[in-house]
Amino acid sequence: MPGFIRSYVRIVDAINRRIGRVMMYGIFVMVGIFIWSSVSKTFFLPSLWTLEMAQFAMVAYYIMGGPYSIQLGSNVRMDLFYGEWSYKRKAQVDAITIFILIFYLGVLLYGAIDSTAYSLQYGERSPTAWRPYLWPIKIIMCFGIFMMLLQAFSEFFKDVARMRGEEL
pLDDT, tens only, 42-69: 888 888 899 899 999 999 999 999 999 9
Name the least confident of 2-16, 37-51, 99-113: 37-51
Strand partners, 125: 133
pLDDT-derived band at 81, boundaries 50, 70, 90 = confident
Q: What does 74-101 look like in DSSP terms, one character per residue?
A: -S---HHHHTTS-HHHHHHHHHHHHHHH
Predicted model pTM: 0.90
Domain limits of the chain? 3-163
Percent of the chain exceeding pLDDT 70 equals 99
Model confidence at 24: pLDDT above 80: yes
Does residue 126 sit in helix, strand or coil?
coil
Backbone angles phi, psi at 47, to 5 degrees: -80, 135
pLDDT, mean of residues 118-129: 94
**Would you say how long the chain is, in residues?**
168
Upper half-sphere CA count for residue 137 (Cβ side, 13 Å): 17
